[in-house]
Copies of this chain bind each other. A is one copy, B any other.
Amino acid sequence: MMLDQVVLVAAVTVLGMMEQAYFSLKVIYARRKHSVSPPATTGPPEFERVFRAQANCSEYFPIFIFSLWVAGVFFSQALAALFGILYLYGRYLYFHGYAESAQGRLEPLYFSAKMQWALIAQSGLGVVCSLTHAYLGLDLMHSVTHL
């Protein structure tokens, strides 16, 4: 595998790690602001929403990165990177929406969930094409990626 065949998804990965670091810093500030010292994880609703927003984004982060890479390698790097950027943008809105109100998390959640499903679908499609190519000798991949 050549580096330039994965450099776009690697770039989105780096952006994603920076976003996660940013969410973590926000939790640290919220802990200070609302005086919620570890190991406590409960406190005023304002704190708990920030805490849960980061926890929720962290929970899905590995799934996001795995789907980004499998889609990028087995389906289309450019498409995976595009949906990846949109996912990260949706998660940014989710974090800030959730920090404001529980209701505020919903719209961006639906958006980023759609981007996540799109990446999983691309991963699944790419893998199925590769499997049929490797084990049945059919080149579906060629037809699908040239849509």
Contact = CB atoms under 8 A, between A and B. Distances in A.
Interface of A: 1, 3-4, 7-8, 10-11, 13-14, 17-18, 20-21, 37-41, 45, 48-49, 51-52, 55, 58-59, 61-63, 65-67, 70, 73-74, 98, 102, 105, 116-117, 120, 123-124, 127, 130-131, 133-134
How many chain copies does the complex carry? 3
Contact of A20 (B13, B63, B70, B124): B63
Chain A binding site: helix, strand, loop or mixed by DSSP?
A: helix
Contacts of A133: 4
Contact of A127 (B7, B40, B65, B127): B7
18 contacts: A1-B1, A3-B73, A10-B70, A10-B74, A11-B131, A14-B70, A14-B123, A17-B67, A17-B123, A18-B124, A21-B63, A21-B117, A38-B102, A39-B102, A41-B52, A61-B63, A62-B62, A62-B65
